[in-house]
Structure formats: C-alpha cells, structure tokens
Amino acid sequence: MTVATVFRSLPLLLAAALPGPAAAADAVPIGQVQGAAARSPLAGQQVLVAGVVSADFRDGLGGLYVQDGGDGDPATSDALFVQAADGFAFPAALETGTRCRFHGRVVELESRGGGSVTALQVDHIDRCTPADPVQARPLAALPADWEALEGMRVRIEAPLTVTGSDALARFGELAVSFDGRQWQPSELARPGSEAHAALVRGNARQRLLLDDGSHQRDPDTIAWLDGRDTPRTGSVVHGAEGIVDHRHGGWRLQLVSPPRIDAAPRPAPPQVPGNVRVAAFNLENLFNGDGRGGGFPTERGAKTPQALDAQLAKLVAAIRGLDPDVAALMELENDGYGEASSLARLVRELNADGARWRYVDAGRGPGVDTIRVGMIYRDDRVLARGAPAVLEGGPFGERSRVPLAQAFQRRGGGKDFVVVANHFKSKGCSEAEGADTDQKDGQGCWNALRVDSAQRLHAWLQSAPLGAGRERVVILGDFNAYAMEDPVRWLREEGGWTDAFAPDGETPAGARPYSYVYQGLSGRLDHALLSPALRPHLRGAAEWHVNADEPDDAGYAARNVPGPWRSSDHDPLRLGFDL
C-alpha cells in the first residue's frame, strides 16, 4: 500500500476504530471554548470542536493540541488541549496534521503551583482527514497577553536570555526572559516598597519556561537540547517553537523542536589593580570526612574520597585563578585545625605547586555549627599580625556562623589591614519563629536575626577586638541577604560601611554585580564592605562568574567539567587595594 493510499484511507481507518456516528451538531469555534478569561465560559458543557492536531504530547502530557482557523477575536485563543475521557482511547492513526471533529466535555485542569489548562475531555472523534500542518505564529516580542495564545503553536523570533537552569535536570524546563538577565527584586529595591513590588511583577511578566512536553521527573534525556550540554545563565535562545501552555503557576512553551542556543562564554579571571588582593569564597560544603573520624559519606559535601578529590581540584583551580593574597572562606567543615581538618587539606592542595599558603588558626571552632568560616593567606606576600579574634554568643553559633577577624600587613611595609570573614544565617525557614518567620516582604526567614548579626558585628568591630589603630577593615563573605535587604542596608546606612562594588553610590545597570542565581533570579548574597579608613585604598572589585551561571551538572558530583566551573554555587569576590 502506498503512502498516498494510506492517507486516502485514513478517514475510513479512523471511522472503523471509533464509536458510532456522533449526533448532528455544528462545531463550536475553539475561541468560544477558550473565552477571553483564564477559565472557559463553557466549563462543564458538552461541545463539538473541529481542528487540526498541532502537537502530540500523549506520551508526555497525556493529550494533543488542536487548533482551528480562528473566530476573528484576537482576545481568544484558537487552540485547545484535548485528552481522552475515561473509557476512551485515541486511535493510533491520529497524528499531527490530521483534521478531526472532537466531541467531549470542557474542563479546567488544575495544576500544582497555580493555574489551569482549558481542555476538552474527548469521548468521540469523527470525520478525520489529512490537512496542512498548523503553521506557528511568529512572535517578534513579548505578547501583550499570553492567555490569548494558550494552546497555540508559536515561534518566538525575539531573543530569549537564559536566566536559570536549576529545574532542567529535574523537570526538563529552562527559565528564560524576554528582557535579559532577571534580578532579585531585593537586590535593586527596598523590600516591601512599591518599587520592589513592580520588579516582582515585571519579572513575572517577562519570564517564560521552555519545557519538554512531559510530566516526567528526572528525564534520562531532554529531547529539545538535542544532545547539547545545559546552557549557562546568560546564554541566548533563538527560534523557540512550541505550544503556549500554563501549568504549575507559570507560562511555558512546550517545545516541539530544538531551538538555536548561543552559549554564554566562560569568563577569564577578573583583573583588579592594587598591590594587595583580598577574596571571599563560599566553598559549598568542603567536608573531608576525616577531621572528626566519621569517614564517608560526610554530613554534607562529597560522598566519597574520589568525589572529594574532584571537589578539591575545582576549588584549587578557582582559588589559584583568583590569585588572592588573603581569602575569607565559608562553608568549611567545622572540624578543628589539625592536619586532618578540611582546612588543612585545602591548604596542602594549594601548596602542591610550591606556593606558600597558610591558614589562620583560631584555636577552636569558631562556633558550634556544622560549618564554619576560615581564612587563608599567602605567607610570601602578607604577614599575619597578632592573634585572630572571633565573635561568639547571641546569634553567632548555631544560626549565623561565628565571624573570624585577622590583621595583616603587606610584606614590604605599610599599616595593618583587617579582614573579617562572615557567614550570616540562611533564608531557610526551619525552626523560625516570631519576627524570624517569613514576613512576605521578599527577605525570607531569619531576617531579624541577620539584622541582629549585622548590628553586633558592627559593634564588635567598633570595639577594636584586634587592638587600637587597626581601622582599615574589610568585612566580607556570604551575608545571605541581597543588597537592598535590611542587614546589608543597615551596615551601609547606619554603620557607615561602603559597598566595595558601588563605592560612589548605585552601580550602573550595565555593570551590575551578582554572585548567586536562585530560581532564575540573579543577585548578591556575597558582599564586601569597607570601613571609612580603608575605602580610599580600594582600586577595584570584581566577581568571577565561574559558578552562579554554571548549571549544577557541571559540578564535581555530576559531569565534573574540568577546571573551576561550578566549583561552588556562589561566585568568588576579588578586591584590589593599594596598601
């Protein structure tokens, strides 16, 4: 039998596979089923619609999309999701490019996270004939209203910027935006303000998810990637074609073919002027399994000795690339300062090329938390001056990690400068009560405790814990607060500390810094703040975007891309001073 014969026979084949003839009725335009609102005005009613199958997601979403010639109303969509009613099965011969009449009941399919899909639960299909494929509607820009396009096949001609890939491996979806990188609202505006609310609305308006047309968790492959690696945040997608869909609280495009992706380049280490360089780096749980004799798997971090080797190789590559004289570190295993500690192991690895790294030994802790801060320095470039100091008590312990301060002097002379490593309480809500619960202003849980931490840190440093005369101080690390949130803003506005990344005021949008990407939004959890005496000596500040933009699977626990890429989930900071 020839292909032409098969197509001529298709109506008869389908008719033989389907129930008896439907009652005589006129087809209702799909636009009338969809209506102009989020939910169908015909929900619960039996209707007949006629249209061409535009996409087949039976294996992934449990249904088809059909589209008709339109009802003349630009406010209504001309396409509809069709699924089989209980007791009915789609015929195998029904495929994309087939025109049929679909009989069934209109329903709204609710989805977890909010939103619904207007659908037809079909109990009978008839009069199927081959038809021309549905042509995708080109979109040159963000549409005024996605609702008018629900279920329709579109091709987005506008460039889409990848904003986050954290859900790609789990759900096959990639976050993109019509307006470049998306920013954490509290990075740019005071939480609770109208400006903050406007940024929230703007992000939601510009955001789109590129999806794989499937409900499957942890898919083995993602067809639309076409064998390519997960793109970095900042990459640009061109020609995305698929079905407009609204599920799980957001608009998405169920892709029907692989789009073109221009990969964002990986950056070289940032260069900053000055004769002393200071860095901050959250190591994302460096646990070596030996410091407390527990072995592997550790409480956090690497699960095997081999994984630890891979993790250390990435961290060493990142620190060597930064080439700082002093580095404040976060998320070290709190396992002492002996030769078996994770801190000592890191320094040994750094010194394998003949460098002269040393670590600051606070004698104990600091703190009782599972993780701690630490500090390392190049002994051939700077001298550690006097004993270190730590701030314990109050919020510092099991919540915010205990700060560590050490004075240094540049070899060759000059006044002392002080580096203070910090790691404030995270935004997670476990055990949060009272003022520390989420106040729904964009700052998450434990904001009150982080403010208390900031105020106590400032008061402690004002008391000169390392001795009088050491007024050139930089406090840096992971504050778990974005730039306009209360803890960091208090340190700037009330404490008199200067943001090293915006020493003269607001950072220009084109050079806006970021160190962390969370759920498709970029911002700074990692900060460097200067005392008035140190500010005139600053010559430059930069982040090295080796981590925040990289997909999770580039890290040591997955693909393990060689080099510093995804050595952590935070980007390291690098400051240059003339001292």
Residue 422 · residue 373 · CB < 8 Å: yes
Closest CA to 236 of 559, 549, 563: 549
Can you tell me the distance from the alpha carbon of 98 to that of 83, in angstroms, rounded to the nearest whole number?
16
Complete domains list, the chain, with CATH? 3-130 (2.40.50.140), 137-262 (2.40.50), 276-577 (3.60.10.10)
Counted residue by residue, the chain has a size of: 579
pLDDT at position 509 over 90: no
At 256, phi and psi to the nearest 5?
-110, -5
Q: Report whether pLDDT(10) > 60.
A: no
Distances, alpha carbon 71 to alpha carbons 17, 18, 33, 167, in Å? 31, 28, 10, 37
In 131-222 the beta strands, taken as DSSP E runs, fall at 137-139, 153-156, 160-164, 174-177, 207-211
Q: What is the pLDDT of residues 510-529, one digit of tens each?
A: 779 999 999 999 999 999 99
pTM: 0.91
pLDDT (tens digit, 9 = 90+) per residue, 361-395?
Answer: 998 778 889 999 999 999 999 999 999 999 999 99
The answer for residues whose C-beta is within 8 angstroms of residue 550's C-beta and 6 or more apart is: 232, 233, 561, 565, 566
Q: Is residue 436 pLDDT above 80, yes or no? A: yes
Q: What is the mean pLDDT of residues 64-79?
A: 95
pLDDT(176) > 60: yes
d(CA 321, CA 325): 12
Instruction: Please write the tens of the pLDDT for every residue from 309-359.
Output: 999 999 999 999 999 999 999 999 999 999 989 999 999 999 999 999 999
Report yes or no: 515 and 526 within 8 Å, Cβ to Cβ: yes
How confident is the model over 494-515, as a mean pLDDT? Answer: 87
Would the CA dihedral through 101, 245, 236, 231 be positive or negative?
Answer: negative
State the pLDDT confidence band at 18, using cuts at 50, 70 and 90: very low
Concatenated DSSP letters for 103-148? EEEEEEEE-TTS-EEEEEEEEEEEEEEE-PPPPPEEESS--S-GGG
